[in-house]
Structure 1
Amino acid sequence: MEITVGLEPWSEGDFWLLLRKNEPAMTEHLGGPETRAKLEDRHRRYLALSAREPAAGRMFRVVADGESVGSVGFWERVWQDEEVYEAGWGILPEFQGRGLAAEAARALIAHAGVHGTRRHLHAFPAVDHPASAAVCRAAGFVLRGEIQFEYPPGQWHASGDWRAVLGGGDGA
Structure 2
Amino acid sequence: MLLRDVEYGDIDAYVRMRCDPAMMAELGGPLPREGMEAKVRRDVRRAEAGTDWTKMILPDEAEPDVVAGTVALWSHGADAERISEIGWMVLPEFQGRGLGKQGVRMLLELARDDGRWGLIHAFPATANAPSNGICRTLGFRFLDEEEVPFAGRVLRTNHWAIDPRTDLVRDRRPADPRA
Give the structure-2-normalised TM-score.
0.83
Number of aligned positions between the proteins: 164
* Paired letter, 1:38: G
User: CA offset at residue 121 of structure 1?
Assistant: 1.0
Which residue pairs with 2:82 in the alignment?
83
User: CA offset at residue 79 of structure 1?
Assistant: 8.1
- The answer to whether the 8 A contact 1:83-1:118 is kept is no
For 1:116 and 1:76, the matched residues in 2 are separated by 14
- Describe the superposition over 1:71-113 as per-residue Cα deviations: whole angstroms up to 9, x where unpaired: 1111111389443211111111011011110110001111122
Q: Residue 50 in 1 paired to residue 19 in 2?
A: no
For 2:12 and 2:155, the matched residues in 1 are separated by 29
Q: Residue 117 in 1 paired to residue 113 in 2?
A: no
User: CA offset at residue 116 of structure 1?
Assistant: 4.7
For 2:76 and 2:95, the matched residues in 1 are separated by 28
User: CA offset at residue 118 of structure 1?
Assistant: 2.6
Mapping of 1:12-31 within 5 angstroms?
12-21=8-17, 22-31=19-28
Q: Residue 161 in 1 paired to residue 155 in 2?
A: no
Q: Is the radius of gyration larger for structure 1 or structure 2?
A: 2
* Paired letter, 2:31: E
C-alpha distance 68-132 of structure 1, shift in aligned 2 (>3 A): same
Give the structure-1-normalised TM-score.
0.86
Bigger share in strand:
1
For 2:43 and 2:72, the matched residues in 1 are separated by 9
The secondary structure found in structure 1 opposite 2:77 is strand
- The unaligned stretches of length 5 or more in structure 2 are 170-179
C-alpha distance 134-147 of structure 1, shift in aligned 2 (>3 A): same
